[in-house]
Amino acid sequence: MSSNRKMYFCFFILFLIHNGKGNLDNPENTTVHRRIIGGEEVKRIADYPFMAYILVHANSTHYSKCGGSVLGPRHVMTAAHCVTDCVLNLCHIFSARDILVFTGGVAPGYRGFWTKVITVIVHPSYSPIDLFERCHYNYDIAVLVLRSTLPLSDRISPVRLPEAVSLKDLDNSTTNKFAMAGTNCDIVGWGESEVNNFILRHATVPLCDASKCMDYIRQIKQTDPYGPSKFCLNTQICSMDTTNKSNICGGDSGGPILCNGIQVGITSYAFVKECAGSYNPGLYTRTDVCKKWIHEIMEISIDRSSISNTKFTLLLITVMLLAQLYLNCTIV
């Protein structure tokens, strides 16, 4: 075999390695934006080491950012609407290749860690418009499986979640007790409180019980007939700040609301046409109701990742042996 043919074949082998890894690592390559109103900038990421910045660039026209929470070295949790494009309830899940995740810093790109995503998993019951419950964004939750393992430290670490509950046990759940007591909780996100502001912010908002939240929603419904008639009682919780004028509104979607350091919800949406402050409910997907599903997804995706890595390793060894055996060329 001539030297040129050997060289071309070596390049072909390298091409197989590169593309083989991409295919095996992606078994399932499978707009609402919110921002924090009020609050303060976060000075140390170690105060919220579980925060993740999620960048979606699906095509030349779609560009968005959301928040998320680190679940473990290979998993990040966010809102389903952050990684989907829906017309009514017909949703297209963005390709994992179009999503990047940043962790470990208060500003994207600053002293942190960027990683690609290999799988996007949206809750199977996600409904942007739930006609049966007459509410919006039911089960607004998704899990991202990361290509690289996060370097866990005091700057990157998993968030704490509440105990899992079934729908029939909601009344006795810790989350419901927080809501009934009007507990002050933290909302955190990279929403644009100012133009081109990309610094992580946090604010304090009190949870409110379902009946009070419904009263506010009915009032809003009188002036906004196209909004939801109510929030999803079994899968969402509600916050309302009538004093400090803090709220969620574009860029905070997918981020956490934390009560006593526990993430009880995922930022979903607010009942506002524009980014207003107080007297407008903020809605969050409950994590206790979804916790069993979260753990199942993490276990399944870890198993798949192990299988994919094993397949790629075998492919790499086979290709290298073939190259050395037949071409006597070195692959580096």
Chain segment 3-14, per-residue pLDDT in tens: 555 444 444 443
Q: Are residues 239 and 130 in the same domain?
A: yes
CB 185 within 8 A of CB 257: yes
As a whole number of angstroms, the distance between CA 62 and CA 184 comes to 35
Given a cut of 60, whether residue 16 has pLDDT beyond it is no
Would you say residue 218 lies in a domain? yes
Residue 134 or residue 236, greater confidence: 236
As a whole number of angstroms, the distance between CA 220 and CA 42 comes to 32
Rounded to an integer, the average pLDDT of 114-121 is: 97
Q: Are residues 210 and 311 in the same domain?
A: no
Residue 60 or residue 157, greater confidence: 157
CB 140 within 8 A of CB 126: yes
Most confident of 65-74, 88-97, 122-131, 193-202: 65-74
Return the pLDDT at 278.
Answer: 52
Least confident interval from 17-26, 157-166, 241-250: 17-26
Percent helix / strand / coil, the chain, rounded to 5: 30, 30, 40
Chain segment 124-138, per-residue pLDDT in tens: 999 998 888 778 899
Q: Are residues 7 and 117 in the same domain?
A: no
pLDDT band at 267 (very low <50, low <70, confident <90, very high): very high
Per DSSP, the chain holds a count of helices (H) and strands (E) of 4, 19
Q: Are residues 135 and 13 in the same domain?
A: no
DSSP-derived secondary structure for 164-196: P--GGGGGGSHHHHHHHTT-EEEEEE---SSTT
Return the pLDDT at 15.
Answer: 41
Would you say residue 184 lies in a domain? yes
Would you say residue 331 lies in a domain? no
Given a cut of 90, whether residue 257 has pLDDT beyond it is yes
Return the pLDDT at 241.
Answer: 76
Q: Are residues 107 and 214 in the same domain?
A: yes
Q: Which domain holds residue 307?
A: 3-27+299-326
Return the pLDDT at 280.
Answer: 73
CB 95 within 8 A of CB 58: yes
Residue 44: how many other CB atoms lie within 10 Å: 11
Return the pLDDT at 96.
Answer: 96
Given a cut of 80, whether residue 79 has pLDDT beyond it is yes
pLDDT band at 228 (very low <50, low <70, confident <90, very high): low
pLDDT band at 237 (very low <50, low <70, confident <90, very high): very high
Q: Are residues 14 and 83 in the same domain?
A: no
Q: How many domains does the chain have?
A: 2
The domain that contains 161 carries what CATH number?
Answer: 2.40.10.120
Return the pLDDT at 211.
Answer: 87
Return the pLDDT at 22.
Answer: 36
Return the pLDDT at 23.
Answer: 33
Burial of 193 (0-12, 13-18, 19+ CB in 10 A): buried
Would you say residue 205 lies in a domain? yes
Q: Are residues 182 and 58 in the same domain?
A: yes
* DSSP type of residue 46: G
Would you say residue 99 lies in a domain? yes
Q: Are residues 129 and 266 in the same domain?
A: yes
In degrees rounded to 5, what are phi and psi of residue 212?
-65, -40
As a whole number of angstroms, the distance between CA 270 and CA 167 comes to 23
Most confident of 2-11, 54-63, 141-150: 141-150
Given a cut of 90, whether residue 53 has pLDDT beyond it is yes
As a whole number of angstroms, the distance between CA 178 and CA 131 comes to 28
Chain segment 288-319, per-residue pLDDT in tens: 999 999 999 999 876 555 444 555 455 556 65
Return the pLDDT at 158.
Answer: 98
Would you say residue 94 lies in a domain? yes
Residue 196: how many other CB atoms lie within 10 Å: 5
Q: Are residues 120 and 182 in the same domain?
A: yes
Residue 321 or residue 177, greater confidence: 177
Residue 180 or residue 242, greater confidence: 180
pLDDT band at 244 (very low <50, low <70, confident <90, very high): low
Q: Are residues 43 and 20 in the same domain?
A: no
Reported pTM: 0.78
What are the structure tokens assigned to 231, written together?
């929030």
